[in-house]
Amino acid sequence: MQEQGQITLRDMVHHLLQVEDETWGRYAFSRELLKKRIQPGQQTEMIANAIACGRAYARRMIREHGTRDASELAGKLKLKVEFREVSMTGKRVLFASYAPPDQIIIMKEPVEQAVRLIAEEDPGIVELFTQTGIINTILGHEMFHFVEEQLEQEIYTRTEKICLWNFLGWKNYSTIRTLSEIGAMAFTQELNGLEYSPFILDVLLYYGYDAASAQKIFRDVLEVSSGRCRETEDYE
């Protein structure tokens, strides 16, 4: 029985399928540790650049290696892909990780559970979230982090930095982790030809372990989206 105030997975997924890439980028920035050092206008520009970067490098990989199949591309890049059951970091479930220089680890249990939940909640969108499709989406995301490592001197998500402090001419610069995540999502979206943002997997994969936290992510995205709408209305 659905508790009062809870949102069904079906309703969340259908709504999130319509969320625009910029909104997802703003949601990602809302969790960025350095966000207070970056003005909203700068964030908007950075989001657009990170999305463009991810898409461009996906097209580059497809062009250079002659495939957009994530598994095949991983092989051509000589990546070692390992599947495990599930990994917990404290109370947090780890879905996948990239371990330099060439290993990608993907957890099977969250994917299998998400596929079952979608089949139970809404069979009509099962084709959007097949096990192979979700795995390829995750693989593409982690693959981008490998590409970043290989091309860190040129790729936007690594070359864009902010100054943390400036003392007597000495400056300390830092990359912005959120840009890497936004770029990775855009990369795998382009690589896999997805019509929706892969950020939706943050909700879908987490729901089976902690529905309340998945719903909080959903509400956070709605809040970011409504804030953007109000911001736009102010300028009209």
* H-helix or E-strand spanning residue 104: strand 103-107
Q: Rounded CA gap, 46 and 156, in Å?
A: 9
* Per-residue pLDDT band at 60 (split at 50, 70, 90): very high
What six digits make up the tokens of 159? 């070359």
% of the chain surpassing 70 pLDDT? 91
Q: Rounded CA gap, 192 and 38, in Å?
A: 31
**69: pLDDT strictly greater than 80:** yes
Q: Rounded CA gap, 107 and 109, in Å?
A: 6
* H-helix or E-strand spanning residue 184: helix 177-192
pLDDT value at residue 5? 58
Check residue 135 and give left, alpha or beta (phi > 0: left; psi -120 to 50: alpha): alpha
The answer to whether 146 and 98 are in contact (CB under 8 A) is: yes
Q: Rounded CA gap, 231 and 125, in Å?
A: 32
**136: pLDDT strictly greater than 70:** yes
pLDDT value at residue 188? 98
Range with the poorest average pLDDT among 93-97, 128-132, 162-166, 174-178: 162-166
pLDDT (mean) for 177-187: 97
Phi then psi dihedrals of residue 50, to 5 deg:
-65, -40
